[in-house]
Amino acid sequence: MIKITRVDERLVHGQVAFAWTNSLGADCILVVNDDAAADKIRAATLKLAAPAGIKFSIKSVEDAIVLLNGDKTGKYKIFVIVGNTDDALKLAENVKEVDHINLGNMKKTEGRRAITNSLAIDDHDAENIRVMVQAGVVVECRAVPTDKEIDAMSLI
């Protein structure tokens, strides 16, 4: 069962690994990122940030879609982490259980506008969010689980 899917450019770090995993009661972290799946050193580094006793896996977007639509994940409470709204949208479009997206951390860069202290989006991200919401996906903004959920559409 997928507990939540989080967009966080940093992927796995202390805040994600401990606060979110504990809050969700997750026993599995699945990082869905093509670059991290292809880079063994980065994958090993990300795995070091995972809490002890939590199953941890890194998959490409396509491999994750196959995995999450299969039978092997049913026994887990999965916290899915992606690095961008493109990957979140692909999962939402292709995996029925991806019905709640948390926008957690997207840094301010040229061309992006801040919508919260930890989130900055561009027009492409805004369109991805609109498409997900129109498909019935809950898209909310929170840096940490104790923050109040803010509807992403109210900010864009």
Please identify every residue annotated as catalytic: 13
Q: Which residue has the tokens 């027009």?
A: 123
Q: Are 4 and 97 in contact (CB under 8 A)?
A: no
Q: Are 116 and 155 in contact (CB under 8 A)?
A: yes
> Which token pair is 73?
């994940």
> Which token pair is 23?
């809050």
> Which token pair is 109?
């860069």
Dihedral sign (CA 107, 84, 16, 137):
positive
> Which token pair is 85?
């709204």
Q: What is the DSSP string of 130-147?
A: HHHHHTT-EEEE-SSTTS
